[in-house]
Structure 1
Amino acid sequence: MEKAEGDKSKEPARSRLQLLRIKGGEDFQPAMPPLDCGEHLVDLLWKWGPTMCTSMGDAPLTHQELSHCQINTGVELSGWEAETLVKLSREYFGESHRATKRDCKPPFIQAAAQYAQALRAENRQRIRAFLD
C-alpha cells in the first residue's frame, strides 16, 4: 500500500482492512454487495483461487485453468458460468492492483462509507496521540 505523500515513517502503511478492523474489532468483515444469484460461482472462485500463480507472478484465471479445476474436482460448468468465473477473476486481479494506490476508492458505495469512517477514526487517534 502506498504511503501518504510526505510520510517518512518507517512504519508500514496500513491496509483498508486493517483500518476497518481498528474501528470495528479484529473480527470485522467489510460489507459485500448483495448477490441476486450466482453465489455458487463466487464460492468456486474462492475455492479454486481468484488468481493463479505464473512464472511472472499472479494472473487472472484462464479457461484452461478452469478446465483443469473442473476435471480435478468433478464440477461441470456451463459456458456462461466458466465465462463469468474468468471475468470475476479478471476483475479481482485488476482491483487488487488498483487497491494498492493510496487514493483508490473502494469498489462499491457501502464499503466506501465504512472506509471513510475508519479513516476518520484513525486520524482522530493520531491527533489524540500527538496532543498527549
Structure 2
Amino acid sequence: MKTVLLSFSAALVLATLIGCNNHQPAQQYAALEPMRQSYSGLMPCGQNCRDSESSLFLAADGSYVLEQRETGANGMRFAQYGKWARTADTLTLVAMNGEKQLFRPTEEGLEVLSVRGVPLSNQQRYHLTARSQQPAS
C-alpha cells in the first residue's frame, strides 16, 4: 500500500512539473524608441464641445501640456496639464484632475484611442502628427 501511494505521488508530481513547463513565448513588441516631444492634429474635445485643433507637448520629466482650440468661429482655447507614461503600445496622459487619455504610437505620430484602449471609429480623423524637431540654438 505504501508503494502504491508513493508511486501515485511521484506520478502526480511529475505530471504537475510537465504541466508547469508548458509556456508560450513572450509577445514581441517593437523596441521602445524615445517619444517625440510635440504633436499636433485634430482630437475629439468631449461631450460639451466640438472637435479641437490640438497641440501636445511632452516634457522629459514626464509632464505634458495639451493645448486645444475648438474648431469654428467662436472656438474657445484651453490647456490641460498632467503626467504622461509610455508602455510598449500605449501612451497614457493623466490630467491633474485624474482624467485619462490614451494614444497608440505610430510611425507618423499618435492615434487617439478610447478610454478602453481601442481606436475611435474614425481613425484617420483623430490622429496627432509628430512635429519635426527644431535644433536648439
TMscore range, shorter length: under 0.3
TM-score in terms of structure 1 length? 0.23
- Higher strand content, 1 or 2: 2
Q: Comparing both chains, which one has the higher relative contact order based on Cα–Cα distances under 8 Å and sequence gaps of 6 or more?
A: 1
Structure with bigger gyration radius = 2
